[in-house]
A and B are shown apart, each in its own frame.
Chain A
Amino acid sequence: MPEEMPVLSMKRITKVFPGVKALSAVDFRLFKGEVHAIMGQNGAGKSTLIKVLTGVHEQDSGEILLEGKPIRPDSPLAAQKLGISTVYQEINLCPNLSVAENIFAGRQPTRFGGIDWKEMTRRSEELLKRLNLVIDVTQILSSYSIAIQQLVAIARVLDISSKILILDEPTSSLDETEVEQLFKVIRFLRDEGLAIIFITHFLDQTYQISDRITVLKNGEFVGEFRTEMLPKLDLIAKMLGKELSEFSYAADNDQRKRAFAIAGKDAKNVLNVKDLGLRGSIAPFDLNLNEGEVLGLAGLLGSGRTEMARLIFGIDGANQGEIQVKGKKAAINSPRSAMMAGMGFCSEDRKSEGVFADLTVRENIILALQARNGVFKYITTRKQLEIADEMIKSLAIMTPSANNRASQLSGGNQQKVMLARWLATSPIILILDEPTRGIDVGAKLEIMELILNLSRQGMGVMFISSEFEEVVRCSSRIAVLKDKAKIAELNGEDMNESSIMRTIAGGN
């Protein structure tokens, strides 16, 4: 393809949030008639880049050129007016309005001073026909599948006139045939000359649909590649920010030895999951966890790690399979029943699913134990303080006192408070979903050290992290997930970053 002028070019975009440099001097180019995927791990800066482009955030420095002219949209609406349209994963349409209305809301054709419904219906049908979609446009939006809703959203933005179409995680809740339907439309639009930005966590889909890939890592530009020139393995390596050759094959020896030791003296099984699954969330999987073992769950963002944890802890109800704790079948249908069975779970979403911001550190720590004891076996304030102080000391939680509010603590310390909440219940199984995310390096190391210590004391730990390095360092066995399914288990010599990556890239 000759190097024509890109329809969009973002040059040296930098965006700083208090305490975080979300983007530093990132470049991005987009050409007419191409599908361009932006790839990266958590915190890579994908969404910030898109938000700058769509006017949600304003860049601190750098410039955006649309067809050669500098632009600076200050709201999604302004961006839309310039021809930059976005279709989000959580479809931003009104479920209670008809398909036609959703397409024309705010721009309804009128006749004799009133809305001309007939005309609106006719034009909607025409528009959708272009996308190869023939449906009854007078029905309300929510009566259609997510896939169709997405196409309706696309039809809407196309009608407003669009030069650039941004698809943000459009496939995450679609099944295979629906994905194919969407891809057909995307290819059609691309061939018509539209420039499309495609964001997804699904590796395979990236390869199916995209012409070009831009990789970001920690807010920095890693590179822009033509899709067919970039092998999957290289892509994963670039997303993780390392060259393949850099990976050390020698994992933590101590860990390896222990793993063998556990396997050797017929370790007691604490958790045995058989064929557990939930449609649309994660494919059925088997899993077991032994006493004193750290089972790592490795996979890219969106691979189904969190879904797996939520299913085991009874947050989402499984529609098949069973869970055994210590060899006995456990009826786990709520977090409470999971707790009673001896599990603990630290959610990846600390803010909305973990910490009680307005409660004190003491209350935050004591809560699960108190819930387990029941309302009336009240733990006296003195006893609470004792437990909390002990936890604060042993986990090195930095807080002026146990009676400070949890919201005043740093992210790492809030994470420790959540850990402490579960440790106080002395669980036999502890599930940690991204406990090291969004905290500083020192705290990360502390938490990993802690995990190893807990396993040495005999606790069975499931450890989820986006950083394969961390998973490898902590785990005695690793389950690999990809595209919402468990695809392999690695142990012994296979437990290293490169084999995880190979498994993800290869196992199709």
Chain B
Amino acid sequence: MSRKLFASSRNLPILVTLGLFIVMFGLGSIAFPGFFSIQNFLNLFIDNSYLLILAVGMTFVIISGGIDLSVGSMLALSGMVSASLLEKAHMSPLFVIPIVLLMGTALGLFMGYLIQAFDLPPFIITLAGLYLARGLCYVVSLFTISVKNNFFQAAAHAQVNIIGTNFLSPGALIAIGVVLIGFFVSRYTKFGRTVYAIGGSEQSALLMGLPVARTKIATYALSGFCSALGGIVFTFYTLSGYGLNGKGMELDTIAAVVIGGTLLTGGVGNLFGTLLGVLVYGIIQVLIVFQGTLNSWWTRIVIGFLVFVFCVLQRLFEARKGATLGRNTAREPAKAAAGR
């Protein structure tokens, strides 16, 4: 019986998120005329395309039991570098985009190496990465660089019709593509499954002979790649590079991932949850805009509150898991009680 209970509770966070999204969309549709439309739904993808891409990379890192705080400023740096190479060095997007992606991957790789090889806390290492990327933005330029490159202009304004005249932007399509690829990787590759194994128990993963070191470093490289790609998509969206772009976005990303049902302690989560988390994040913003009198900063408070609710939910699940494994972990509560 307890097995069935747990089986359902495993997907419960995602169901809660899905329910939350439907309720919010429904409430919005009832309360505000003009809220309910397919385009309004598709706009969630368009307006949050870059966030979705960051969240995919972040999901891998968090499932492996780590965290990457550098994604927001990496997004800004990618935008800055793209803009600068395009507008100041007049390079072709054909070169700019691979260069930027490579740069992001390399920085992620470097941080992953530090974390894995020297057993350092991911939190601090990537926080320094946040600083580095943010500072480097201003090394590139202290001011906004607007992007006039034809390809980027085209990407920014293009509309791809999906259902009738309802459309998605190229950025949104890229984001959806990233989610799908991410889902395949997480579910159908050994790399993806090893990420889950490490998050479940790094010690066990090692003893099972899984390539722990390589995989851990690769998740940070992947997250670096995603933030760089997010930066490019963000540039499609805003057509400019600026050092303050994506400020605090690392937390929006983490929040979206957590709301999507991924455990911050690692091992549990999936990319459709993350997609839902991003949609919930998006719809909160839209609702507050439609509501009109509340200032947009309520979004952050609501997001903070949701993170709190989901974290408490997760603690409850852990407690229940602890209960089913009670006999094995009889001594654990004593250690946990001390608050580590």
Q: Which A positions have Cβ atoms within 8 angstroms of B?
A: 76-77, 80, 90-97, 101, 105-106, 108, 113-115, 136, 139-140, 142-144, 146, 156, 173, 278, 280-281, 315-316
Contact = CB atoms under 8 A, between A and B. Distances in A.
Given A77-B209, A105-B208, A108-B190, A140 B330 contact: no
B93 interface: no
Contacts of A92: 201, 203-204, 207-208
B193 interface: yes
Nearest to B210: A106
Interface stretch (B1-9, B78-86, B127-135): B1-9
Given A93-B204, A173-B327, A114 B188 contact: yes
A371 B331 CA distance: 23
Nearest to B335: A352
30 contacts: A77-B207, A80-B209, A92-B201, A92-B204, A93-B204, A93-B208, A94-B197, A94-B200, A94-B205, A95-B200, A95-B201, A95-B321, A96-B200, A97-B196, A101-B197, A105-B197, A105-B210, A106-B210, A114-B184, A114-B189, A136-B3, A139-B6, A140-B10, A142-B6, A142-B324, A143-B3, A143-B6, A278-B330, A315-B334, A316-B334
Given A142-B325, A143-B7, A144-B3, A94 B334 contact: no
Nearest to B5: A143
Given A95-B200, A173-B330, 16 more contacts: A76-B207, A94-B196, A94-B267, A96-B200, A96-B267, A105-B194, A108-B190, A113-B188, A114-B184, A115-B190, A139-B6, A140-B7, A143-B324, A146-B328, A280-B327, A316-B331
B326 A280 contact: yes
A95 B267 CA distance: 9
B286 interface: no
A93 B325 CA distance: 14
Contacts of A76: 207
Interface in B296-328: 321, 324-328
B187 interface: yes
Contact of A142 (B187, B188, B208, B321): B321
B204 A146 contact: no
A95 B325 contact: yes
A144 B209 CA distance: 23
Interface in B188-220: 188-190, 193-194, 196-197, 199-201, 203-205, 207-210
A4 to B, nearest CB: 32
Which of A90, A96, A315 is packed against the most chain B CB atoms within 10 Å? A96
Nearest to B6: A143
A280 B330 contact: yes
Interface in B143-164: none
Given A77-B209, A95-B200, A105-B210, A139 B328 contact: no
A92 B337 CA distance: 24
B191 to A, nearest CB: 11
Which of A93, A94, A101, A143 is packed against the most chain B CB atoms within 10 Å? A94
Contact of B196 (A91, A96, A143): A96
B193 A115 contact: yes
Contacts of A140: 6-7, 10
A115 B189 contact: yes
B14 interface: no
Interface residues of B, number: 35
The 5 closest A-B pairs by CB, nearest first: A114-B188, A94-B200, A96-B200, A96-B267, A280-B327
Secondary structure of the A contact surface, majority rule: loop
A113 B6 CA distance: 31
Contacts of B204: 91-94
Nearest to B2: A143
A80 B327 CA distance: 28
A358 to B, nearest CB: 16
A106 B199 contact: no
B268 interface: yes
A94 B201 contact: yes
Contacts of A173: 327-328, 330
Nearest to A315: B334
B267 to A, nearest CB: 4
B193 A101 contact: yes
Contacts of B209: 77, 80, 106
Nearest to B184: A114
B198 to A, nearest CB: 8
A499 B331 CA distance: 32
Contacts of A90: 328
A144 B328 CA distance: 12
B136 to A, nearest CB: 37
Contacts of B189: 114-115
A376 B114 CA distance: 43
A124 to B, nearest CB: 14
Which of A76, A93, A105, A140 is packed against the most chain B CB atoms within 10 Å? A105
Contacts of A105: 193-194, 197, 205, 208, 210
A96 B201 CA distance: 8
Contacts of B3: 136, 139, 143-144
Which of A136, A143, A144 is packed against the most chain B CB atoms within 10 Å? A143
Nearest to A281: B330
A90 B207 CA distance: 12
Interface string B114-146: 000000000000000000000000000000000
A76 B208 CA distance: 9
A506 to B, nearest CB: 28
Contacts of A316: 330-331, 334
Contacts of A143: 2-3, 6-7, 324
Interface string B168-194: 000000000000000010011110011
B59 to A, nearest CB: 15
A146 B201 contact: no
Nearest to B321: A142
Contacts of B207: 76-77, 92
Nearest to B325: A142
Contacts of B210: 105-106
A142 to B, nearest CB: 6
A139 B324 CA distance: 14
B210 to A, nearest CB: 5
A108 B330 contact: no
